[in-house]
């Protein structure tokens, strides 16, 4: 009996060690998520940038934003804009629409709920965080909750420097809209993310959105949007 005790003790210690591994792994994942969110907390920058976008296979629209001169329309479909297009662009409605555009900086904590975030997978170069998305607009969040819209998100991060590379948000399950009667079966939003070399702030390089479903129960509907950004001359915004 006395000789058997050391073997029993070693066996028990191995069992206890193995039992502690999941908890230790979860703690490491939690620290990694917190480090990622805190590392990229700044978004108070302004930049000059070229913005190109198109929707549903239509012509590409090229705009430019200058910190000194504001917005200007450069081209539509590869050519200069016509007089009517320029008039619409500079109308009051056009100015109000551009005023609602978000600033270039991208703060992860405004999009990712840390309480819902988990490390879903990892390899030698990256790890992927699964999370419940949230918008920067609390009223929009409330509306989505009332409509019972369930979304899921994934953020791929470089392991070496915790730099986010891509972000994807998609509909977790189909959702029905009463007016007009539409059933959305698929929705996805993909972002590629870069780091501005001057300020070290995260910037969105591109956004692709796609959705599909049925209207009035039988008509197939779909939409797609592409957005591309080319930044230069970024600087921190001075706060009074």
Kindly report, residue by residue over 19-42, the tens digit of the pLDDT. Answer: 444 555 678 889 999 999 999 987
Percentage of the chain beyond pLDDT 90 is 57
Q: Which pLDDT value is given to residue 238?
A: 72
Tell me the average pLDDT across 108-113. 84
Q: Which residues contact 224 (CB under 8 A, 6 or more apart)?
A: 55, 56, 57, 208, 209, 210, 211
Residues in the chain: 240
CA distance 166 to 131: 14
pTM of the model: 0.80
Average pLDDT over residues 88-104: 91
| Residues 171, 185: Cα–Cα separation, whole Å | 8
The confidence score (pLDDT) of residue 240 equals 56
Q: State pLDDT tens for residues 64-88.
A: 999 999 999 999 999 999 999 999 9
Higher pLDDT, 69 or 4: 69
Q: pLDDT per residue over 39-63, tens digit each?
A: 998 778 999 999 999 999 999 999 9
* Poorest-pLDDT segment among 52-56, 126-130, 133-137: 133-137
The C-alpha atoms of residue 227 and residue 216 are separated, in whole angstroms, by 29
**Which of these ranges, 37-46, 140-149, 155-164, 213-222, has the smallest mean pLDDT?**
140-149
């Amino acid at each position: 009996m006395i000789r058997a005790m050391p073997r029993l003790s070693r066996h028990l210690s191995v069992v206890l060690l193995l039992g502690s591994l999941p908890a230790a792994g979860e703690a490491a994942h939690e620290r990694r998520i917190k480090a990622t969110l805190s590392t990229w907390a700044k978004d108070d920058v302004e930049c000059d940038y070229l913005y190109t976008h198109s929707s549903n296979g239509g012509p590409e629209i090229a705009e430019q934003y200058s910190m000194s001169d504001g917005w200007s329309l450069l081209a539509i479909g590869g050519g200069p804009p016509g007089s009517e297009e320029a008039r619409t662009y500079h109308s009051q409605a056009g100015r109000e629409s551009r005023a609602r555009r978000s600033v270039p900086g991208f703060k992860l904590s405004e999009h990712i709920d840390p309480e819902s975030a988990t490390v879903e997978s990892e390899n030698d170069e990256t790890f992927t965080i699964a999370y419940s998305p949230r918008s920067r607009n609390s009223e929009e969040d409330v509306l989505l909750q009332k409509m019972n819209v369930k979304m899921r998100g994934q953020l791929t991060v470089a392991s070496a420097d915790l730099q986010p590379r891509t972000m994807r948000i998609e509909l977790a399950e189909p959702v029905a809209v009463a007016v007009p009667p539409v059933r959305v079966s698929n929705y996805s939003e993909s972002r590629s993310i870069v780091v501005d070399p001057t300020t070290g702030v995260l910037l969105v390089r591109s956004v692709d959105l796609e959705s599909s479903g049925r209207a009035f129960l039988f008509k197939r509907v779909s939409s797609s949007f592409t957005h591309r950004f080319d930044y230069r001359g970024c600087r921190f915004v001075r706060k009074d």
